[in-house]
Amino acid sequence: SVREWYKGKNVLLSGGTGFMGKVLVEKLLRSCTNIGTIYIICRSKRGLTPAQRIADFAKIPLFGPLLKDNPKALQKIVAIEGDITVEDLGLKPETRLELQQKVNVIFHVAASLKLEAGLKEATAFNLKGTLRMLELALGVKNLEVFVHLSTAFCHCEEDILEERLYEPIYNPHDILSAMDWMNDKMIEVITPKLLDRHPNCYTFTKRLAESLIAEYGSKLPLTVLRPSIVVPSMKEPLRGWVDSLNGPIGVMAAAGKGVLRSMLCKPDYRAELIPVDVAINSIITLACKRAKIQTNEVLTYNLSSSETVPIIWGEVVELGRDVIKKYPYDAGLWYPGGTMRTNPYIHAIFVFLCQTIPAYLIDFIMLLTRNKRFMVRVQNRIRLGMELLQYFTMRQWNFRTEQFIGAFKSLNPEEQEIFFVPISNVDVRQLIKDAIVGSRVYCLKEPIETLPRARKHLKWLYWLDKISQFSLVLLFAWMLISYFPVLRQFINFITPDFAASTMMHKVTKTA
């Protein structure tokens, strides 16, 4: 039994205040009620100490159902002041000693998810941070498993990603050493050569981190888990729970607000997605599975639902567009629309005409009315986000998941319900609806009670959009008729009344 195995186990978690980290903590406390202490390494942020940040979990809707059933559940969490980017994780000697004496399970979830981050920053978080966690683990006396969270997109050079580790492309220690002595200019020059087929420094450094993990395979009980694109929760503890607008959810929100009109995407390619609660269920059960196996092999799993619940990007966008019209975002700037395109040049033209120019016009109006300008800044953020995302939506990914699905099927029926992984009969429309409504409520803080107002606003935007389109068509037709005499003569020929009215207008003007 997975729950029985976690009984009395003390857990150390990095990244516990992030999106996946919070869901992992909640699930452990709710489903593994006899778990020991959960130590969370986190740093002070925005004037809040680590203890205050953990105490604020009680204010997050995610923990509402748990605290309703067990008001004292959060007392099992101990905030540890630390930072994976600091030497020795920034831990006090006595704290480090306590962890090495008491911890049984380590979940290394912390990472820099900034896809636009430079190589030095990404290396500090994703590579050096992983090395520091491994060095800490070496001193843990009763360690039963170390779980490293990677990403399914870290092996861009592979046409089919197997559930195993790959040979390193570079020695990770050489990269770490280079980041120590190279200046920013040198790093900027060598980065494109190092990245090669990698779209950004995030996937590159996560690839190198797996090479580090492989080095420690004979020293520690390790497992590597590679989730694909993590999306809002499927059903627990709340449908559609999400706390950030990264990835597809940000695209849906931008399109729903009317500020995104074009995206580069192959509509026939599979969308490699996994709901966050499904990913967390898998992380918990696979950690237990690895701990029970005596081997020096680093067991590796690809966490994705594309083979069991196949869905293509075109379907995601169409369903999302339909759902947004029924559950619109509040205070949209324009009627939701936009199109997927595969030609980058046509896409660039539409972005310029339908996003960039309107953004400058809106900011100009805001300037004239002495209001704060914001639209150009919003469009710049959207442009950056879409440039980073398009690498993943313009390529067909192939992830093998036999070991991942096999591990789930090996659970007893009761625990398949508790730690569910959807392998058939998934209502994709409901999943997308929950994700959009969740982003509306939890990220944008738009209460569900505002839906009637949002629907009225959407109707107004619909007619404004239609009138604008009709006006543009008339303007374009008038310009053609005015500047092309042959076309004007043809119109005069097929519409005598039009010609007569045109002549009358000229006579009146002359008089």
Q: CA 504, 508, 509: angle at the middle one, nearest 5? A: 115
The three state secondary structure string of 148-176 is EECCCCCCCCCCCECCCCCCCCCCHHHHH
pLDDT digits (tens, 9 = 90+) for 324-358: 999 999 888 888 888 899 999 999 998 888 889 88
pLDDT at 167 over 70: yes
Q: Is the pLDDT of residue 264 over 60?
A: yes
d(CA 419, CA 404): 13
Is the predicted pLDDT of residue 113 greater than 90, yes or no?
no
Nearest residue to 137 via CA among 79, 217, 42: 217
Q: Can you list the alpha helix ranges (DSSP code H) found in 400-450?
A: 402-409, 413-418, 428-438
Strand ranges across the sheet with 299-303: 77-81, 38-42, 11-14, 105-108, 145-149, 222-227, 299-303
Query: What is residue 465's three-state secondary structure?
Result: helix
Alpha carbon distance 351, 383 (integer Å):
9
CATH architecture of 2-247+270-309+397-421: 3-Layer(aba) Sandwich (3.40)
Q: What tens digit of pLDDT does each residue of 297-331 get?
A: 999 999 998 777 888 999 998 999 899 999 999 88
pLDDT at 112: 81
Residue 486 CA, chain-centre distance (Å), reads 54
Rounded CA-CA distance 285/290 in Å is: 9
**Beta carbons within 10 angstroms of residue 423's beta carbon:** 15
Residue 136, CB-side half-sphere exposure with 13 Å CA sphere:
36
pLDDT at 75 over 90: yes
Task: Report pLDDT for 111.
Answer: 86
Measured distance CA(409)–CA(406) in Å, rounded: 5
pLDDT tens digits, residue range 188-212?
A: 999 999 998 888 899 999 999 999 9
Structure-token pair, residue 403: 């070991």
pLDDT tens sequence across 433-449: 999 999 999 999 999 99
Q: What are phi and psi of 226, to 5 degrees?
A: -120, 90
pLDDT at 501: 54
Distance of CA 502 to the CA centre of its chain: 58
Residue of 289, 501, 492 lying closest to 403 (CA atoms):
289
Averaged pLDDT of the chain: 89
Contact 439, 252 (CB under 8 A): yes
Radius of gyration for the chain, computed over Cα atoms and rounded to the nearest angstrom: 27
Average pLDDT over residues 377-393: 85
Helix (H, G, I), strand (E, B) or coil at 332: coil
Contacts of 318 (CB under 8 A, 6+ apart): none
Average confidence (pLDDT) over 129-138: 95
Give the per-residue pLDDT at 90.
Answer: 92
pLDDT attached to residue 500: 52
Strand ranges in 193-286 using DSSP code E only, listed in sequence order: 222-227, 229-231, 262-264, 273-275
Q: Out of 289-298, 426-435, 459-468, 489-498, which region has the weakest mean confidence (pLDDT)?
A: 489-498
Q: Which two tokens stand for residue 175?
A: 């990269």
Q: What is the pLDDT of residue 442?
A: 93
CA atoms within 13 A on the CB side of 334: 19
* Alpha-carbon span 504 to 498, nearest angstrom: 10
- Quote the Cα angle for 253-256-257, to 5°: 90
Q: In terms of DSSP H, where are the helices of 196-272?
A: 201-215, 248-256
pLDDT over threshold 90, residue 502:
no
Alpha-carbon dihedral angle through residues 121, 127, 129, 130, given to the nearest 10 degrees: 160
Tell me which residue of 216, 205, 456 sits closest to 331, measured CA to CA: 456
pLDDT at 152: 94
Give the percent of the chain with pLDDT over 70.
95
> Domain ranges in the chain?
2-247+270-309+397-421, 457-501
Measured distance CA(156)–CA(398) in Å, rounded: 11
Q: In whole angstroms, give the CA distance from residue 400 to residue 152.
A: 10
The reported pLDDT for the residue numbered 439 is 92
Mean pLDDT of 439-462: 91
Q: State how far the Cα of 8 lies from the Cα of 35, in Å rounded to an integer.
A: 5
Could you give phi then psi for residue 33, rounded to 5 degrees? -65, -20
Q: What is the average pLDDT across 485-501? A: 64
Confidence band (pLDDT; 50, 70, 90) for 40? very high
* pLDDT number for residue 469: 82
Greatest Cα-to-Cα distance within the chain, rounded to the nearest angstrom: 102
Which residue reads 């972005």 in tokens?
Answer: 351
